[in-house]
Amino acid sequence: MATNNRKRRYDGFRFYLPKDAWIITVTSAFWGIGSFLYSPFQSIFFGALGMPVIYIALMAALSSVITAVALIIGGYLADAFGRRKVITIFSTISAGSAFMYLFINSWQIVLVPVIIGSLCSIYTPAFNSLLTESMREDMRPSGFASFAMLNTLPAIFSPVIGGLLMMYYGDVPGLKIAFFISGVLGLIAMLVRSWKLGETYKPKVRIREPLIKSFGAILHGYAHALKKTNSDAKKLLLYTITSSIAASFTTIFISLYLVKQLNFPPITYGLLSGVTGLATVIVLVPSVRIIKRAGLKKAAILSALFSPLSMFIFISSNGMNDLLAWSVTGGVGGAIAQPSMSTLQGNLSEKEIRGRLMALFSVMPLMAAFPAQILSGYLYANVSYLSTFMISIPFYVISIIILMRLNIK
């Protein structure tokens, strides 16, 4: 009887973060207190500097391409030199890049910190690989849920504070305060990370040679990694590409639409963002039970269903109650998606190629997002404000169909 009770208890959520996962999670969450002050309002910041709408979309598209190139290099570095060194160096530079926004007074030069921030994404494959490798395979749903929970906590209150800063000091001065706070908190977090973080993978020396020879050799290494992946990993990669295209039509302009077109105060959008974060944290606990009882495939499909539903609610919203429903729906879907998708990616990748495969899960969606983001700017500026949101729904539906074709439980 005691054994059965123990099994039932572990079917649900269990807070699980081993040492390295704990360090990387806590430092990310601490940094997030600052980054969530400005991240929901970044398009508004660019617009307040005078950047035309179409250029905001173009800059987002360019950032996607630069990030993709950085991730290609980063995935290879993660497999060639290990995880820790790549994470500590480039996450520190990324945190410090927030200070550059303090000196930006013209939209023509805002591209400089955007490019530097995009290049620093080079550490992301190593980050994802280390997080995966530090967890036991059977505990990854709980581990990724624990990671998501702590990292989402700042999203509950920081956007509200960011909205208050904009209301009291103005769009540009208020968000510059937010950038400064983010830089300070980020550098403190990265100091702790560089001091405490361990290593989870010691690469073979022979992997290092192609990195030095040419970028073409790196691409060849990615082709080799992709060839070694099974069909389910390829389907999951196709899903991330399709869902990324859908998201590219929405994420840039939601804040601009609500604050500038519907005239909601910035703090209202901050509250809506906070509601999404709160819903995510609350549902993360039962999400692990859903994943373990239903299986990874069904849980992933369930999470994906919330995306078109959320966007349909947003498009047809007629007041604050509808927008609150949109926020909650997005938070619930995200809560199930984060542990299920991260676990799927980790389980479907072999350790020797995990850095490169983790990079591909980010690189290929970013490359696909490039034309979608440009098109979103054209639609928003020249067709109608809602058109770019509407076109995302068919892509979300296609992504769900792809998930349904996975041959796993």
pLDDT single digits (tens) 167-217 = 999 999 999 999 999 999 999 999 999 898 887 777 765 454 444 455 666
**Of 285-294, 329-338, 356-365, 368-377, minimum mean pLDDT range:** 356-365
Judge contact between 150 and 58, C-beta under 8 A: no
Provide the pLDDT confidence category of residue 351 given band limits of 50, 70 and 90: low
The runs of H, that is alpha helices, within 102-214 are 111-119, 124-133, 140-169, 171-196, 208-213
Judge contact between 102 and 219, C-beta under 8 A: no
Q: Is 263 exposed, middle or buried (0-12, 13-18, 19+ CB in 10 A)?
A: exposed
Best CA proximity match to 294, nearest among 16, 14, 12? 12
Token readout for 67 is: 């990030």
Looking at per-residue pLDDT, the higher value among 88 and 72 belongs to 88
What are the sequence ranges of the domains in the chain? 17-404
Token readout for 209 is: 């040679």
Question: Is it the case that residue 395 has pLDDT exceeding 70?
Answer: yes
- Name the 3-class secondary structure at 325: helix
Residues in the chain: 409
Average pLDDT over residues 276-304: 88
In the block, which residue shows the tokens 């906590």?
153
pLDDT in tens, 241-285: 999 999 999 988 999 999 988 999 999 999 999 999 999 999 888
Q: What is the pLDDT of residue 216?
A: 67
Which CATH superfamily groups domain 17-404? MFS general substrate transporter like domains (1.20.1250.20)
Provide the pLDDT confidence category of residue 26 given band limits of 50, 70 and 90: very high
Return the ∠ at Cα 80 (arms to 112 and 235), rounded to 5°. Answer: 80
Residue type, 297: K
C-alpha to C-alpha distance for 306 and 308, rounded to whole angstroms: 6
Q: What is the pLDDT of residue 5?
A: 44
Looking at per-residue pLDDT, the higher value among 365 and 6 belongs to 365
- Name the 3-class secondary structure at 130: helix
Provide the pLDDT confidence category of residue 50 given band limits of 50, 70 and 90: very high
Whether pTM > 0.85 for this model: the answer is: no
